[in-house]
């Protein structure tokens, strides 16, 4: 979902990383499923980096 969101905004991994205060390599690892993500980081990426509202439903 991160990769799709990033591509829909025509943003590079480096641009997204700069917006959310992380490294390009971390964004790459996330997009490729090579590492876990904290909920706070996921929120930052979508809300601050991709300007997308996040709604989580636990059931």
pLDDT tens digits, 7-57: 999 999 999 999 999 999 999 999 999 999 999 999 999 999 999 988 889
Q: Where do the H-state alpha helices sit in the chain?
A: 2-8, 13-20, 24-31, 39-44
- Position 55 scores a pLDDT of 87
Return the CATH architecture of domain 2-49.
Answer: Orthogonal Bundle (1.10)
Q: Please report, for the chain, the start and end positions of each structural domain, with discontinuous segments joined by +.
A: 2-49
Q: Are residues 6 and 13 in contact, defined by beta-carbon separation less than 8 angstroms?
A: yes
Q: Alpha-carbon distance 4 to 35, whole Å?
A: 18
């Amino acid at each position: 979902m991160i990769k799709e969101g990033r591509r829909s905004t025509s943003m590079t991994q480096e641009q997204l990383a700069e917006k959310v205060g992380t490294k390009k390599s971390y964004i790459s690892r996330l997009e490729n499923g090579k590492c876990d993500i904290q909920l706070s980081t996921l929120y930052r990426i979508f809300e601050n980096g991709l300007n997308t509202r996040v709604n989580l439903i636990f059931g």
